[in-house]
Chains A and B, each alone.
Chain A
Amino acid sequence: MSGAVVVAWLRLAASRVAAERVHLTDLDAAIGDGDHGINLDRGFTALEARLSARDVSTEAAGPLLALAGRTITGTVGGASGALYGRALLRAAAALDAWPIDAGPPVARVAAALRAAVDGIAALGRSRPGEKTMLDALVPAVEAIEAAATVGADLADALRQAADAAEAGARATRPLLATKGRASYLGERSIGHLDPGAVSSALLLGALADAAAGGV
């Protein structure tokens, strides 16, 4: 994955987070503290500003993801900031550590996504089924790994990952939250989508679209 795709992804993600700000916040108001969209929008707006302030045209994917991770970690503010920041930093490290010519691009991106998702699970002490972003992200990483195994190209594999994330996010509605602020609600958390799973699906959808754009 090139640096240009990463920049295109982060910018597309920023514009979609801004567009979905109210929706994400409303989802969070139902079962959390009602700031998820506001927080993410603040972070991605800061990220957009930092991208615009430097010449990103020649930067590699790893350092760009690290910049995004540091920015999100410092500006989003809630648990989602720490978790997404951790994910971006882990993805950056995985891309940087990937040996040149070790398999096709899709394998490298799958390894980065796996590192990102494992980082979220470890920091959050969580796993799928607990009504969190992992309910979107784990199916997504499994989808891209399966696609990589059968030789799909990167854009196709990311589309399958994004579709799996979307389905995973929709499937959080009947789940009982046992992590984070939503867990305070106990059974009243059932019947609502998890805002973190929805924003995860949004971010992966933007990644698939950026990769498909052939930037």
Chain B
Amino acid sequence: MVALVLVGHSLELLHGLRAMLAQAAPGLLVGVAGGTDAGALGTSAPLILDAVRSVLAASPEGAVVLLDLGSAALALELALEELEPSERAVVRVSRGALVEGAVRAAVEASGGGSLASVVSASETPAGRDKLPDDWPVDGAVPGGIAERPGR
């Protein structure tokens, strides 16, 4: 099964997300690299490299990395440069939103999806299917459900 690696500024955030993924996809291997070496908010290339390597050691099919924002991409790039070509060949990075993308990726991976299909699933636009189709597009709070047409 393709594994996931979560990269972000807060280890607590990633642990929470990993718990959600365990529920959605039992048996899925999920590595996390959150915060700095000293446990502060931030990202750390050495921690990311360790997480990717340890996941690859247990998952020869490879891993898809999901990340949050800002410096995460810079630290990730530094970390992935250290990989051997054989490791690099089985790692993919997703542009998807961290939470929604990881849940979709987890479901796809647990269904036996390939690296490519897990990336593709994770990159489904995050805004879709989070709210009902009839929710106002500007985000305004609608009236009671009974008042909406079609219900």
Would A42 and B78 count as touching, CB distance under 8 A?
no
Assembled-state Cα–Cα distance A42/B40 (Å):
9
Known contacts: A73-B46, A74-B46, A78-B42. The answer to whether A83 contacts B74 by CB under 8 A is yes
A70 CB-CB contact with B under 8 Å: yes
Assembled-state Cα–Cα distance A79/B71 (Å):
4
Would B38 and A123 count as touching, CB distance under 8 A?
no
B77 CB-CB contact with A under 8 Å: yes
- CB under 8 Å from chain A, chain B span 64-79: 70-71, 74-75, 77-78
Residues from chain A with a CB closer than 8 A to the CB of B41 are 77
Residues from chain B with a CB closer than 8 A to the CB of A86 are 78
Q: State the total of A-B contacts with C-beta under 8 angstroms.
A: 65
Write out, one digit per residue, whether chain A residues 76-87 have a CB within 8 A of any chain B CB (1) or not (0): 111111110110
Would A42 and B45 count as touching, CB distance under 8 A?
no
Known contacts: A81-B42, A85-B45, A123-B78. The answer to whether A74 contacts B37 by CB under 8 A is yes
Would B38 and A82 count as touching, CB distance under 8 A?
no
Assembled-state Cα–Cα distance A179/B78 (Å):
19
Count of chain A residues with a beta carbon within 8 Å of a chain B beta carbon: 21
Q: Is the interface of B mostly helix, strand, loop or mixed?
A: loop
Would A74 and B74 count as touching, CB distance under 8 A?
no
Would B70 and A74 count as touching, CB distance under 8 A?
no
A172 CB-CB contact with B under 8 Å: no
Residues from chain A with a CB closer than 8 A to the CB of B47 are 74
B76 closest partner in A (C-beta): A82
- CB under 8 Å from chain A, chain B span 36-59: 36-38, 40-47
Chain A interface residues (CB < 8 Å from chain B) = 39, 42, 46, 70, 73-83, 85-86, 123-124, 180-181
Query: 9 A-B pairs, CB-CB below 8 angstroms?
Result: A74-B37, A75-B38, A75-B44, A76-B36, A78-B70, A81-B36, A81-B71, A82-B78, A86-B78
